[in-house]
């Protein structure tokens, strides 16, 4: 089936893995995606085995590190260098229609996302430069709240989304870029849905009803995706899949589910395992439970896949990008029709993305660029 319908994955952190790799240190050629990176989870041979047809690569930047605007640009550049280094494997994709073009050329459509609005440094101009550089999706924040949008895993500061946050969403709509509400607080998701004129996505997020990590999506937001036209993209992060693991981890996490900064996280984990027994493992089957629930609640037209492979632990059965077909095999066992699976694989996302492109064209005809900085948008 995945040979007929391209599989689009909404989130992969390979660009950050290449940046922090001790040997490659951001050098795409030195990292060498042509060979199997068995310690990692993503490389070209296994993307091919996994029948991945389109990939959103995250240009991630940590919230509290220095130079966020520069880091965002460096990570966008790294993804573009990946596209240039492997032209036989990756087709630089900037529109929904590029996925079919990539398929015809037997390539993987390569999309750029920015993960973390911190890279805007509270100004609107960078959005247009990101777009010019090829970015088509922006995850509003990461694990920490910003001056204008609240994170799911931090204390709220912006009442969900304040006036400047609404200006960011409005400009993303005008630019035809996808607004991503993975990582934002539940209230921020609701505020974005109130104001966005185009479909939104939650690019790597599961069902809060099955695993109550704040990174997951509550039922009322899932139901609102029908009117909005957007989608939630099921993610493989073990702590967002398994309630058992979430409860086990909660012993050492803050009220927002975030791990404290400790000198040696591995030693801290070993200590917790010595005290409470081994950490429960999340599984592919439990992820399928989330997908069934997301489809029941948001509707079959509003669910996709956003793995979030990031070079770390993954569920049993989904250890690397070569494993996507096993997830679809499990969904076939759950009774999904071929038409339903095609929607999950990419049809839903591409429909939403085409709508985002059309809204952008309309809004650009109606109004000029939004200018200024956060100081120009006072108020809640």
- What residues act catalytically? 11, 13, 115, 142, 183, 204, 308
Structure tokens at 43: 């490389």
- Is 140 strand, coil or helix? coil
* Residue 39 exposure: Cα atoms within 13 Å on the Cβ side: 5
Structure tokens at 108: 């993987």
187: Cβ–Cβ under 8 A, 6 or more apart, which residues?
150, 156, 159, 160
Distance CA 320, CA 317 (A): 9
* Residue 238 exposure: Cα atoms within 13 Å on the Cβ side: 20
Best CA proximity match to 181, nearest among 172, 62, 299:
172
- Which residues lie across from 113 on neighbouring strands? 58, 137
Query: Is there a contact between 44 and 34 (Cβ–Cβ < 8 Å)?
Result: yes
Structure tokens at 187: 């209230």
């Amino acid at each position: 089936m995945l040979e007929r319908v391209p599989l689009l994955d909404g989130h992969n952190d390979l660009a950050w893995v290449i940046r922090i790799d001790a040997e490659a240190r951001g050098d795409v050629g030195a990292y060498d995606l042509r060979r199997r990176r068995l310690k990692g989870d993503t490389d070209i041979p296994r993307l091919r085995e996994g029948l991945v047809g389109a990939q959103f690569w995250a240009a991630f930047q940590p919230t509290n590190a220095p130079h966020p605007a520069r880091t965002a640009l460096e990570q966008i550049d790294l993804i573009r260098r990946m596209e240039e280094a492997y032209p036989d494997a990756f087709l630089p994709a900037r529109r929904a229609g590029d996925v079919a073009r990539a398929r015809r050329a037997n390539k993987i459509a390569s999309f750029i996302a920015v993960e973390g609005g911190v890279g805007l440094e509270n100004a609107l101009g960078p959005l247009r430069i990101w777009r010019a550089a090829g970015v088509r999706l922006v995850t509003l924040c990461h694990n920490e709240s910003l001056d204008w949008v609240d994170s799911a895993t931090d204390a709220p500061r912006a009442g969900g989304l304040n006036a400047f946050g609404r200006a960011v969403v409005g400009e993303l709509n005008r630019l035809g870029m996808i607004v991503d509400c993975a990582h934002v607080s539940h209230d921020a998701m609701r505020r974005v849905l109130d104001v966005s004129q185009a479909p939104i996505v939650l690019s790597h997020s599961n069902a809060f009803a099955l695993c109550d990590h704040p990174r997951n999506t509550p039922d009322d937001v899932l139901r609102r995706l029908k009117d909005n036209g957007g989608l939630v993209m099921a993610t493989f992060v073990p702590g967002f899949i398994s309630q058992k693991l979430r409860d086990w981890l909660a012993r050492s996490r803050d009220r927002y589910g975030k791990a404290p900064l400790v000198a040696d996280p591995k030693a801290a984990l070993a200590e917790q395992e010595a005290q409470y027994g081994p950490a429960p493992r999340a599984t592919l089957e439990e992820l399928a439970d989330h997908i069934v629930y997301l489809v029941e609640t948001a509707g079959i037209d509003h669910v996709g896949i956003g793995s979030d492979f990031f070079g770390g632990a993954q569920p049993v059965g989904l250890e690397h990008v070569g494993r996507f077909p096993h997830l679809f095999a499990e969904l076939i066992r759950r009774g999904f029709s071929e038409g339903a699976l095609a929607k999950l694989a990419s049809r839903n996302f591409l429909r939403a993305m085409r709508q985002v492109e059309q809204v952008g064209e309309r809004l650009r005809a109606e109004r000029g660029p939004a200018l200024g900085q956060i100081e120009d948008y006072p108020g809640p």
